């Protein structure tokens, strides 16, 4: 029977993590389980930066971006020695279950901790990149896409006023979901994602075709992990179309911040709530995800093995809808 759990956020922060922390803390307390908050992710486990949490500690955070527990990347946790220290600290505090909110790297760390020290762990997918398999949803993706959309809409206004071509780089590491979804939602003429090899000649042919039919405003959304890259693309296209005004914009970290959307708040709350119920039910090494709008669990060691595939249908649709 679980009596005390700990919760941490690890890796890249994502808006909605606070909603998940709040749900974990309050669900645990509701069920008579004590909760500890670990600050600075796995590094906090090693450094014993672990504090008891009460219901009031998570008041007024559901609407905030970032994570009230802070997050970090920990080199020490990559070593067996570091993980032994982490496990010893958890034992010292009497913690018998851990909730890890983070991305696939954090889940790899959780698998190692479980394999070596058998601490029951439930992972909650928290990443704006949405690159985790076994779940349709990851915390922060919805907010990040909405932030990108807001920025791209504004850029389109100025692109239209000046007849300019804009190449806009969005986040997502080696995944193209933010690019694909923000591109569709802003009516981008092209979307370039890391999951597909970029064909510059085809992009150029499209611009050429558009110019001939006097369509002068062009938005190309490029994922940061695209094989060709937004900046080189800008140079190549400027060379091919010297008369055109081509601008390159990197949206950057604004996509990580901001108040989470209703969707991120609700889904993150669901995951936090169910993560605690799962620990209570004796689950040990699972990710709490959402599939077809239902809570779905998948073994942590299987979800880290593959990426979520990108939807070909959506990629095809971009071409049709921008024609």
- CA-nearest of 187, 182, 181, 218 to 203 is 218
Binder of ligand ADP out of 4, 85, 93, 108 (CB under 6 A): 108
- In the complex, the smallest distance separating the C-beta of residue 308 from ligand ADP, rounded to whole angstroms, is 13
Q: Is 127 in the site for ligand ADP (CB under 6 A)?
A: yes
Q: 129, 131, 226, 264: which is the annotated catalytic residue?
A: 129
Nearer to ligand ADP by Cβ, of 126 and 183: the residue is 126
Tokens read off for 193: 């994602």
Rounded to whole angstroms, how far apart are CA atoms 102 and 100? 6
Residues 274 and 281: their CA atoms lie apart, in Å, by 10
Query: Is 157 part of the annotated catalytic residue set?
Result: no
- Looking at 8-16, 117-125, 214-222, 281-289, which segment touches ligand ADP (CB under 6 A)? 8-16
**Share of the chain residues as helix, strand and coil, in percent rounded to the nearest 5:** 45, 20, 35
Ranges within 40-99 binding ligand ADP (CB under 6 A) = 42, 73-74, 77-78
Q: How far is the CB of 287 from ligand ADP (least distance, A)?
A: 12
| CA triple 272-137-229, angle to 5 deg | 130
User: How far apart are CB 119 and ligand ADP at their closest, in Å?
Assistant: 14
Identify the three-state secondary structure at position 109. Answer: helix
Tokens of 60: 């007024």
Report whether 70 contacts 39 (CB < 8 A).
yes
198 binds ligand ADP (CB under 6 A): no
102: nearest Cα among 174, 13, 6, 5: 13
Stretch that binds ligand ADP, among 26-34, 44-52, 101-109, 314-322 (CB under 6 A): 101-109
Report the chain's C-alpha Rg in angstroms.
Answer: 22
Q: Which stretch binds ligand ADP (CB under 6 A): 100-108, 188-196, 216-224, 255-263?
A: 100-108
Per CB under 6 A, the segment of 28-36, 62-70, 108-116, 290-298 that binds ligand ADP is 108-116
Identify the helix (H) or strand (E) that includes residue 165: strand 165-170
Q: How far is the CB of 185 from ligand ADP (least distance, A)?
A: 24
Query: Cα(42)–Cα(73) distance, rounded to whole angstroms?
Result: 8
Structure tokens at 279: 């620990």
Q: Is 104 in the site for ligand ADP (CB under 6 A)?
A: yes
285 binds ligand ADP, rule: CB under 6 A: no
Q: Is 182 in the site for ligand ADP (CB under 6 A)?
A: no
Q: Which residues bind ligand ADP (CB under 6 A)?
A: 10-12, 42, 73-74, 77-78, 102-106, 108-109, 112, 127
Which residues are catalytic, by number?
129
């Amino acid at each position: 029977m679980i009596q005390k759990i700990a919760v941490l956020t690890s890796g890249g922060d994502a808006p909605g993590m606070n909603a998940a922390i709040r749900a974990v803390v309050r669900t645990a307390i509701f069920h008579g389980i004590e909760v500890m908050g670990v600050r600075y992710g796995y590094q906090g486990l090693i450094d014993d930066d672990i504090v008891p949490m009460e219901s009031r500690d998570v008041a007024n955070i559901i609407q905030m971006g970032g994570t009230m527990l802070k997050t970090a990347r920990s080199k020490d946790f990559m070593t067996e020695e570091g993980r032994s220290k982490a496990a010893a600290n958890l034992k010292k505090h009497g913690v018998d279950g851990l909730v890890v909110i983070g991305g696939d790297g954090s889940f790899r760390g959780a698998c190692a901790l479980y394999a070596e020290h058998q601490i029951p762990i439930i992972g909650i997918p928290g990443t704006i990149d949405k690159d985790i398999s076994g779940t349709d949803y990851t915390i922060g993706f919805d907010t990040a896409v909405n932030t990108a959309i807001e920025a791209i809409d504004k850029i389109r206004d100025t692109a239209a006023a000046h007849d300019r071509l804009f190449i806009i780089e969005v986040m997502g590491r080696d995944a193209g979901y933010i690019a694909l979804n923000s591109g569709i939602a802003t009516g981008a003429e092209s979307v370039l994602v890391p999951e597909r090899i970029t064909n510059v000649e085809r992009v150029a042919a499209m611009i050429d075709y558009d110019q001939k039919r006097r369509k002068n405003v062009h938005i190309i959304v490029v994922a940061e992990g695209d094989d060709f890259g937004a900046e080189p693309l800008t140079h190549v296209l400027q060379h091919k179309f010297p008369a055109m005004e081509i601008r390159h914009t990197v949206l950057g970290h604004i996509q990580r911040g901001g108040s989470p959307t209703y969707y991120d708040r609700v889904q993150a709350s669901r995951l936090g709530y169910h993560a605690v119920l799962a620990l209570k039910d004796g689950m040990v090494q699972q990710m709490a995800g959402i599939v077809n709008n239902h809570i779905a669990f998948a073994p942590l060691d299987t979800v880290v093995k593959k990426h979520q595939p990108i939807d070909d249908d959506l990629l095809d649709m971009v071409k049709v809808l921008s024609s």
